[in-house]
Amino acid sequence: MEFDDLYQQIILDHNKKRVGYGLQPGGFPSHQYNPTCGDELTLTVRLSEDGSTITAVEWEGKGCSISQASASLMTSEVTGMSVVEFESFANGFRDAMRSRGTISLSEDEYGDLAALSGVSKFVARVKCAMLAWVAAEDSLILTRESLN
């Protein structure tokens, strides 16, 4: 059933676990707001000194289980990833979310994030899943601008 695809156990767990929760001072946080539900999320991506690698993701916010689990799972999967790799990783995630159920995230590539595949059948929830990703992309841009 589609509802069970949406709320897989991994998502329910990460809604509680919230990996990466807690912002440290400094860096270039991005604040994102979803006006349809009032959910908010602030997220900072930290890069290695040469700007090539994601060394940490920190975030705080409130929202539904999908938005919280997506932030938590993303933090787990992308920490240690190169920035170049992250960009295509995020694009692939976005494409799957917007696919209305036609693209599934592969477990090989996306690990536990593949559990979010079911969200794409619920158009109203895609924004929830994307909130942390939009914040990460934005924080990355701000961070890299500062390095130039």
Partner 1 sequence: MSQFTPEQSAAIRAEFPELSETVSGHPLVYLDTAATSLRPRIAVDIESEFALRHTAAVNRGAHSLAAEATEAYDDARASIAAFVGARPNQLVFTSNATESINLVALAMRLASSVGSPPRFALAAGDEIVVSEAEHHANLIPWQEVAQQTGAVIRVAPITDGGELTAEAVKSVVSDRTRIVAVSAVSNVLGITNPVRAIADLGRAAGALVVVDACQSAAHGRIDVESYGADFVVFSAHKMYGPTGIGALWGTTEILDEMPVVLTGGSMITRVDYDSSDYLPAPAKFEPGTPRLTQAIGWAESLRFVESVGVDAISAHEESLGAELFAGVADIPNVRILGNSNGVHRVGLVSFAVEGVHPHDVGQYLDSRGIAARVGHHCAQPLHKRLGVDSSTRFSLGMYSTADDVALAVAALADVREFFGED
Distance in angstroms (rounded) separating the CA atoms of residues 130 and 117: 12
Cβ 109 to partner 1 shortest distance, Å:
27
CB of 116 to partner 1, least distance (A): 14
Using CB under 8 A, list all residues that contact partner 1.
1-3, 6-7, 12-13, 15-16, 36-39, 62-66, 122, 125, 128
CB-based burial of residue 20 (10 Å sphere; 0-12 exposed, 13-18 middle, 19+ buried)? buried
Q: Which is nearer to partner 1, 37 or 142 (CB)?
A: 37
Residue closer to partner 1 (CB basis): 62 or 98: 62
Q: To the nearest whole angstrom, how small is the minimum distance from the Cβ of residue 96 to partner 1? A: 19
CB closer to partner 1 out of 27 and 118: 118
CB of 66 to partner 1, least distance (A): 7
Closer to partner 1 at the Cβ: 47 or 71? 71
| Minimal distance, residue 132 CB to partner 1, in Å | 15
* Residue 115 CB contacts under 8 Å (≥ 6 apart), including other chains: 8, 10, 11, 69, 73
